[in-house]
Amino acid sequence: MMAVTTPELKGVLKFDEPMSRHTSWRVGGPADHYYEPADIEDLANYLRQLPEQEPVMMIGLGSNLLVRDRGIRGSVICPAGLLDGFEIQNGKVLRVEAGVPCAIVAKRCAKEGFTGLEFLAGIPGTVGGALAMNAGAFGGETWPLVKKVETLDRHGVFHLRDADEYLVGYRSVIGPEAGKLQEWFVAAHFVLEKGDGEKSLKRIKTLLAERSKKQPMGVPSCGSVFRNPKGDHAARLIEACGLKGFRVGNAQVSEKHANFIINLGEASAADIEKLILLVAERVRQEHGVSLESEVRIVGDG
């Protein structure tokens, strides 16, 4: 791995960067190019100078992401912690950039006396990632509170789009760029509701305490692996198959929550991917339910 800066760019460009350093599972081979932009304009400049044929991937905190062991060809861009703008406009709209962790949004809004975004405290990713998949937790989802989004396309051109330009479903977001030039979220405009900030902070604390009791904490995982099928829960189906604690190499179905797969320390991406497939197949065989993975699996195996 080598890191460089160039006169044209303000961020840091790394070569052959191990993705195991940037995913919550702590696995993944190297990315050819790994860029950490200084700000939104710097990100746009990076996109503008890329060769037309170079693949581009945007990541956040690396949750819900499995990078295969041979890594990723092309450019990986990570704005987490860098695109960190946070501004409350006219006392009712929050403009927040894509690199801000969801948990920080929840807590800052509560401290400012706003309610409705407490559920974001349970999402282990950034605003950009939450927008991309309509992430949810504790019964709340991202997009019902979105008014507008700002995006950047493959040529580094900015767009301001209304929320109703997107087709949003359960853990699914289809944008107007579908089938056209790729776009990435760089900021969101959330509608805020004034309320009791102290009460919101207490609710966040309670929700996080409940999550800690039910989910494996302090071990590498990606959060929930499978989407809940309509009218049921993936964890219930997996547990009913007797798969709690089941292992492939050093990847294990959590004994605390069956919809979590944890890295016991030396798991490979191949171990985790194989376990995901085995769990889905067992549930299909025993319950006739086809589980859909929430995990984005990328790279060369």
Tell me which residues are annotated as active site. 171, 224, 294
Buried b (16+ CB within 10 A) or exposed e, 217-255: eeebbbbbbbbbbeeeebbebbbebebbebebeebbbbe
- Burial label for 55, CB within 10 Å (0-12, 13-18, 19+), is middle
Residue 146 is encoded by which pair of tokens? 């979105």
**What is the spatial distance between Cα 82 and Cα 78, in angstroms, rounded to a whole number?**
8
Instruction: Identify the residue whose tokens are 């948990």.
Output: 103
Residue 234 is encoded by which pair of tokens? 């993936």
Helix 102-111, helix 197-214: angle, nearest 10: 150
Amino acid 4 reads V
- The DSSP element (H or E) to which 129 belongs, if any, is helix 127-133
**What is the spatial distance between Cα 82 and Cα 95, in angstroms, rounded to a whole number?**
15
**What is the spatial distance between Cα 190 and Cα 28, in angstroms, rounded to a whole number?**
33
**What is the spatial distance between Cα 132 and Cα 126, in angstroms, rounded to a whole number?**
10
Listed in order, strand segments (DSSP E) in 51-145 are 56-58, 65-67, 72-77, 86-89, 93-97, 114-115, 136-137, 140-141
C-alpha 42 chain-centroid distance: 22
Amino acid 141 reads E
Asked if residue 263 lies in contact with residue 272, where contact means CB atoms within 8 angstroms, the answer is yes
